[in-house]
């Protein structure tokens, strides 16, 4: 367990590193960014339970937004949409009180800062950021072949989704080229069978 810091309301945010820390393949999985889209935490939990991959360095963040999860809100405890708070293409969007509020400046929120630090530290070759609930794998940016295979493995369509200003994946892709993509899970909770399917799809990425 690697502590990353505390949320605005003081909840701990941490990462789990598994597998081979010296591997050239470095995979980051973020289970939840928007607090009202928490289904990916089940995949993160399953991955964090191990076993770790022999041929990859796997980093799992269960939730970047524990305050939003506790409150059932998209934003963090400041009401900021963390997925509009990263530096790449950032622009001010809306105002406090709006669900897509970008924050006053890039990385104004501690949760975004922790994610940015982790991305700089890990320099992922693949970064998977779970959202809900468009039920699609984003094929607009990131590693095309990995996205295509992941979508086929989990049974979601590959779709070019809008890359919003200040998104975490857009920024990760400026730091670690063509690494990051969004997986939009279906609405609701994942069934145990679906959790297994998504976990296996990540394991294929970290596999030999």
Report in angstroms how near the CB of residue 40 gets to Zn ion at its nearest. 10
Helix (H, G, I), strand (E, B) or coil at 192: helix
Report in angstroms how near the CB of residue 63 gets to Zn ion at its nearest. 12
Which helix (H) or strand (E) is 40 found in, with range?
Answer: helix 40-48
CB nearer to Zn ion: give 25 or 34. 34
84 near Zn ion, rule: CB under 5 A: no
* Residues whose CB falls within 8 Å of the CB of residue 194, separated by 6 or more in sequence, listed in order: 154
Please report the beta strands in 2-119, taking only residues with DSSP state E, as ranges in sequence order: 2-6, 12-19, 26-30, 57-61
Q: Identify whether the C-beta of residue 170 lies closer than 8 Å to the C-beta of residue 156.
A: no
78 near Zn ion, rule: CB under 5 A: no
Judged by CB under 5 A, the stretch of 12-20, 28-36, 119-127, 186-194 that binds Zn ion is 28-36
CB nearer to Zn ion: give 53 or 86. 86
131 near Zn ion, rule: CB under 5 A: yes
Among 7, 27, 30, 37, binds Zn ion (CB under 5 A): 37
CB nearer to Zn ion: give 56 or 180. 180
Phi, psi for 97 (deg, rounded to 5): 105, -20
- The residues that touch Zn ion, with contacts defined as CB under 5 A, are 34, 37, 131
């Amino acid at each position: 367990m690697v502590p990353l810091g505390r949320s605005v309301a003081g909840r701990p945010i941490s990462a789990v590193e598994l597998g081979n820390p010296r591997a050239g393949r470095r995979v980051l999985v973020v289970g939840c960014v928007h607090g009202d889209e928490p289904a990916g935490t089940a995949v993160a939990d399953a991955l964090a339970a191990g076993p770790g991959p022999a041929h990859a360095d796997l980093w799992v963040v269960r939730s970047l937004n524990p305050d939003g999860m506790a409150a059932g809100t998209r934003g963090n405890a400041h009401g900021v949409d963390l997925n509009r708070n990263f530096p790449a293409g950032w622009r001010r969007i809306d105002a406090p009180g709006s669900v897509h509020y970008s924050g006053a400046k890039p990385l104004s929120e501690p949760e975004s800062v922790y994610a940015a630090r982790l991305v700089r530290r890990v320099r992922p070759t693949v970064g998977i950021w779970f959202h809900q609930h468009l039920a699609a794998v984003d094929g607009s940016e990131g590693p095309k072949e990995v996205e295509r295979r992941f979508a086929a493995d989990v049974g979601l369509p590959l779709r070019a989704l809008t890359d919003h200003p200040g998104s975490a994946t857009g920024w990760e892709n400026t730091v670690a080229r063509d690494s990051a993509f969004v997986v939009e899970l279906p609405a609701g909770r994942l069934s145990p069978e679906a959790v297994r399917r998504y976990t296996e799809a990540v394991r294929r990425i970290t596999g030999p």
